[in-house]
Structure 1
Amino acid sequence: MTITRDEELEALRIIGRIVADTLQAMGRALEPGMTTAELDAIGRALLEREGALPAPEAVYDFPGATCISVNEEIAHGIPGARVIRAGDLVNIDVSASKDGYFADTGASFRVGRVAPSLEKLCRDGRKAMQIGVAQVASGRPLAGIGQAIGRFAERNGYTLIRNLASHGVGRSLHEEPGEIPTWPVSNERRRINRGLVLTVEPFLSRGGLWASEGRDGWTLYSEPRAAVVQYEHTVVATDRGPLVLTLPG
């Protein structure tokens, strides 16, 4: 989506705040002993209270209001009977719509104490996203997002999952300009137009290169198997740089 009117931006700000607040509340609620279904129910209730529709369920018939991926699961995890335990790495992805406008956000959370290397991966995963967001501005190359993230990953000894990309968002969950690589590519020639709404969501890993689909038809796993974190914002490109829509209220 490309924003052309102030009321479009305001509607996106509203749904951006809703998904951001939902994500943060779910992260605060995380505790050992709860199931992923119980965590998803918290997210659903918060979205419903704000009059928002869970996008994975509404758009793709996903079996849950939010995607919750634990440890070896890196994306699109189905909420269910899995019990969250101390030391787990939990990724929560929240996307929703209100009044026909969509926003998408996500983050990886540690449950209790985890290994120092995992703490560092989480810090650097958020940093990788911030580096990518900083590349968003009117007229800049789309490839700059992946190039900047790729330099950071290589410099710090990480890999990037290369078949889970950022994307356009706004009037639908996934829309033009389609997939936006968050890793370096040599044949990307598109540029960022003023008002473009997109996600920035690198999947930073300690060895993972690809995402493969599990038997349930939804859950994605790292190939080769390795720890993976994901952080995501929905942003708007302006002449002065990125405007982040998915900030808590």
Structure 2
Amino acid sequence: MSRTIIARGAALAAATMLALTACGGTEEAPAEQPAGAAEQEAEQDDTAGDDAEGDAEESDTAEDTEGTEDAEDAADGGDDAAAEGDDASEGGDTAGAEAGAVVEIGTEFTDEETGDVITIVSAVRGNDTEYYLANDNPDGEMIYLEVSVTPGNTYGGVVSQRDFSLEDGGEEVNYAASADDEMIEAGYDYFDGPSRRDGEATGYIPIYVETTGDTLKGSYVRPEMKILGEDETVPEFRGEFEIPAA
């Protein structure tokens, strides 16, 4: 693969261009009884009344005790529920920390032919995504790769997002263009393939791998370039880097 570029004239000293592309009961009247029997019965009634009062007191005491125990149990249950809620909250925080984890890289390359200095600054791993290749794929991962470019003054043109790749099951995959919006909504500045004439540029590139791992290998490749109007080419430049585990 090659690109066509324009050579810079010595007198103009200007950069030339690269071409990069959510129960009821019934009561009966009691029978008449002898007086003695009535008195005896009254005494028995009194005794029964006393017993009933005692039973009532015991019942009240038992009810009070049960009520207290029920209240204590309810309080304990509430405390347990609160504790479980705290645990769940802590669990949610942990899960959130696993997603969108930033890892530092700091690998720098210098393209001797163009004078460009390319730095792989960091990567944001485990990002939530709706990227089409991520559907029903538990083995994949969306990476936001942070890069910085300080262009040289020999040539014009751009440094393309597609020049940055990650290894995925033995193949190299690059820029996941349709993930731009979700990356920007997550708060990351987009690296849009700036022109060398605009000077230094830093930003993030979304790259999706269908098979991820603890560490990931990546590369920056500037293709071979052909100088416009001349029979001269600039050889390909390749630099490699590694994304560490989160």
Instruction: Sort the TM-score into its range (normalised by shorter chain).
Output: under 0.3
Select the structure of larger CA radius of gyration: 2
TM-score by length of structure 1 reads 0.26
The TM-score, its normalising length taken from structure 2, stands at 0.26
